[in-house]
Structure formats: C-alpha cells, structure tokens
Amino acid sequence: MAHLFLVKDIAFQAGLSTATVDRVLNGRPGVRRQTEMRVKAAIAELEKQQAGAMGSGRILAIDIVMETPQRFSDAVRAAFEAEMAAFLPGVFRCRFHFAEVMKPAELVQLLDRIRLRGTHGIVLKAPDVADVAAAVARADVAGIPVVTLVTDLPNSARIAYAGADNRAAGETAAYLIGEFLGGHGGKVLVTLSSGRFRGEEEREIGFRRIIRAHYPEIGITEISEGHGTDAATGTLAAAALAADPAINAVYSIGGGNRAVLAVFEAAKRPVRVFVAHDLDADNRALLAARRIGFVLHHDLRTDARSAFRAIMSRTAASGRAVSNSLSSVEIVTPYNMPAGD
C-alpha cells in the first residue's frame, strides 16, 4: 500500500495502533477487511489534507467530534476541509468522529480516548449533559482546548463557541412563520432532534417567545428525540398530525425534513409554510423544488475558521481569554441560494 506518511500519522488518523497499521501496510495475515479499509481511508484523508494545506508553519492535529445526522456531518466535513486548505500560517489536520446517535457514555469514552491519545484541540457538537461537561473539564486540565460547534456547553470548560446565535435564529423563524400565516392562525409543528442539545433548546425558546408575544393566535406542537433521522422523525410527525388536525406549518429545528413532508403528503394535509435550518444537500434540493419555503443558514466555513483561531490562540498563549465569534444567520429562499462548495 503506497504512501508518503509516517506509520504513527496514519495510525493517528485511522484511530488504530501503529502495530495494526504496520501489519496492514506490509500485507501481513490476520487483518480484518474493515481494518484495512480504515487504513486506506486514513491515507486518502491525509493525502487530501496535505494537498490542500501545504503552507509553512506548525501543523496542529485536532479532532472533530459530533453527534449529528449524516447530511449535516457531511456539510461540516466539507466546510472544515475547505477551510483547512485556506487557513494559514497554521496548518490544521483534522480527524473526524461522527455518529448519528451516540449515548452520552459512548461520547464520554471517545473524548477520554482522544485525551489520552493526545490532540492539539477538540471541536465538539454534543449534548449539554453533566458527563460530557466533565469530560471537557478533563481535557482542559490536560491542556487540550475544546471549542463547541453549533450547540454550546456554556457551563463547561470549553474555551469558545463557534456557531450562530441560536436564540435569534428561533426568533427569526417565528417572525417568518407568523407573518406568513398572518391572522389565519393554525398550529406549527416544531421538530427537535433531541432536547439534550442546548442549541436546539435555544432555538425553541426564541421561537416560542416571539410567537407568544406577537402571534398568540398560532399554536405550537413539539416533537423530539427523533435524532434528525428520517425514520424516527417521520414516526413522531405522523403521530402528531393524527392527533391534531390544526397543524399546518413546520419549524424544523432538528432535521428529518423529507420524512416530515412525506407524512403531510400521506395525510393529504397542506403545509402553508416550512422553515428549516442549514443548507445541507437535502435542504438544498427541497428548497430548489419549493417544497420548503425558507432555510435559516449560517456559514459553516466561518464556524470552522473561528474554531481554528480559538485553538491557535489557546495553543500559542497560556491565557484562557478566547472570544466567541457568532456567525450571522441568513434567510435563504429558492432565489438567493448560495452556490454549493
């Protein structure tokens, strides 16, 4: 298996021991096919990152850890890879750890494993629960800076948050839906992937505040714990529609939008207005087809840049003062959709 990288670098990228990587590279027997594929994927990732980030300067290897649907993790990966190629003078190398659903104990185990193995920083999208905050504290004590991405852990030892103002995003969604429905009223189906994520909770709080203050004739029905997956979110949405014939709008905080639309179609129910988050591949297609009306989008490359800067600042100095950098929320329609990466 031809390559230009040190065995320890391939092992770092693949999350394997150097002995295992050496066995794969030298074609020794007793290696599982899955392990061989992990090594090949690690080499391909290193080649891509090297080609895009051949500037001079210190190389910082960091870990991106996220519990999120694949459609969003794909968008995040693309943003970080694009920003790695442009971010100088520091050169970042990223190792990605993504799962659509991860138990808190599994996430804590992963964070502890990264801490013990060593890293220059962690970018984290995780639920705001005590066990995760404790794992962040252990990383901080070990001198590893943690930056939260998209959803914050404000009561943890993280050094900065990179993402949008989630409460303002929820308020914006309420304004769009309230003005669209006007005085006709109705009920909005608010979908969350999980109540454990502070970012989603903040969006919901902002949304409810504006609806209550300015559009009291509009009701709200919430579903949660579909984890942004189509199957689980669709099941929850179907039950909500069956129980309430007044639902005629959607504010999708947590994703699963194709499944939600399919439920409305199966029930022969119209959706007067649908507001979603993030320009991932699914939402781009749905917006272009005019199946959803608005997408609240923030630039993930801006978030990646903010995370890189925070980690570099903490790495270069002993102080903890790293300011948050909120990315702006943009209202995207079928007519002003930015070009894809």
pLDDT one-digit tens code per residue, 165-176: 999 999 999 999
Say if CB 62 and CB 94 are below 8 A apart.
yes
Residues facing 97 on adjacent strands: 65
Confidence class of residue 109 from pLDDT cuts 50, 70 and 90?
very high
Whether pLDDT at 288 is above 60? yes
CATH 3.40.50.2300 domain residues, the chain: 59-161+300-322, 166-298
pLDDT digits (tens, 9 = 90+) for 6-57: 787 788 778 788 889 888 998 888 888 889 998 988 888 777 666 554 444 5
Confidence class of residue 338 from pLDDT cuts 50, 70 and 90?
confident
Confidence class of residue 317 from pLDDT cuts 50, 70 and 90?
low
**What was the pLDDT predicted at 49?**
61
Look up residue 246 and give its two tokens. 């007044």
Say if CB 41 and CB 14 are below 8 A apart.
yes
Cβ neighbour number for residue 25 with a 10 Å cutoff = 17
Provide the residue type at 3 as one letter: H
**What was the pLDDT predicted at 229?**
92
Q: How far apart are CA 167 and CA 122, in angstroms?
A: 24
Whether pLDDT at 290 is above 60? yes
Confidence class of residue 85 from pLDDT cuts 50, 70 and 90?
confident
Provide the residue type at 252 as one letter: S
**What was the pLDDT predicted at 232?**
95
Domain 7-54 classification at class level: mainly alpha
First-last CA distance in the chain: 31
What pTM value is reported for the model?
Answer: 0.79
Confidence class of residue 84 from pLDDT cuts 50, 70 and 90?
confident
List the beta strands (DSSP E) in the chain: 59-67, 91-99, 122-125, 146-149, 160-164, 186-191, 218-223, 247-252, 273-277, 294-297, 325-327, 330-332
Q: What are the backbone angles phi and psi of residue 330, rounded to the nearest 5°? A: -115, 135
Decide which of 3.90.45.10, 3.40.50.2300, 3.30.70.20, 3.40.50.10700 is the CATH code for 59-161+300-322: 3.40.50.2300
Say if CB 149 and CB 123 are below 8 A apart.
yes
At the second CATH level, the architecture of 166-298 is: 3-Layer(aba) Sandwich (3.40)
**What was the pLDDT predicted at 276?**
98
CATH 1.10.260 domain residues, the chain: 7-54
What is the chain's mean pLDDT, rounded? 89
Look up residue 61 and give its two tokens. 């290897």
- Give percent of the chain above pLDDT 70: 91
Mean pLDDT of 66-86: 91
Provide the residue type at 128 as one letter: D
Mention every residue, 6+ apart, whose C-beta is less than 8 A from residue 96.
63, 64, 66, 73, 77, 80
**What was the pLDDT predicted at 223?**
97
- The CA distances from residue 169 to 152, 175, 227, in Å, are 14, 10, 20
